[in-house]
Amino acid sequence: MLLLASLGWLGTEPAGAVRTSGNWQVVLAAGDDAEPVFDNATHEMNRRLAAAGIPPGNIHRLSASAAELAIGAEPATAEALLRRIADLPARPGDQCLIFLTSHGERGSGLWLARSNRALTPDELARALSRGCAAVPTVVIVSACYSGSFATGKMASSNRIVLTAARQDRPSFGCQPHRTYNFFDECLLGVLPQAPTWHSVSDGADRCVRRMEHALGLQPSEPQAYFGGTVVALKVGF
């Protein structure tokens, strides 16, 4: 399901839509190390951002894995993650990218194994309001039951929120033998060809539906919210 803050969106670019590509401020977090899929996804996103010329100092990677901490990742605790987002030095002309991938807890949020609790949508919204303020902000929450991150206080006019599932549905692909979970595989697959985040959302949704249909799984129904000033935001990397 796609939620648009601009009810007049008909596929054309609305007046005043933000399309500039400023300095990206990035937080990538793998919230659980029970399977390698989460760290694999943040590693790949980090690699692509670096290849696109985004300064390493602008990219902050957090992990629940002791092995990842040993090579420079920050601990993916709730406190560290919220602080890192809240302290992002985003200024006018910048953009924020927050990519969170983990298990999800129904009715609670994104699981952070190092804190033994879930990160809630309201907590994330408060941190974003500090660190990213009014700059264009893309938030990707890849987890079961993550649709709750696309509503409520997360729904701000400067934000795009992409989630892996409805708030009452699981997502799939968190097995040790897989490189990525279904949603992350689809997201990373469509990103290179997608001109806008709207097309990223559409392409990832189609890909997830195909994968689930092939296995006879209940559709996870990825959710998306597009704030009124960023409905036509370009990917920019």
- Across the range 16-36, mean pLDDT stands at 78
Domains of the chain: 2-226 (3.40.50.1460)
- Across the range 1-5, mean pLDDT stands at 44
Distance (Å, whole) CA 56 – CA 50? 7
Residue with tokens 């929450």: 141
Q: Report helix, strand and coil shares of the chain as percent, to nearest 5.
A: 35, 20, 45
83 three-class SS: helix
pLDDT at 49 exceeding the cut of 50:
yes
pLDDT above 90 as % of the chain: 89
pLDDT tens digits along 98-151: 999 999 999 999 999 999 999 999 999 999 999 999 999 999 999 999 999 999
pTM comes to 0.91
Tokens of 123: 């907590």
Query: If you write DSSP's letter for every residue of 107-154 in order, what string do you get?
Result: TTEEEETTTTEEEPHHHHHHHHHHHTTTS-EEEEEESTTGGGGGSGGG
pLDDT at 15 exceeding the cut of 50:
no
User: pLDDT class for 59, splitting at 50, 70, 90?
Assistant: very high
Distance (Å, whole) CA 90 – CA 132? 5
Distance (Å, whole) CA 23 – CA 5? 25
User: pLDDT class for 236, splitting at 50, 70, 90?
Assistant: confident
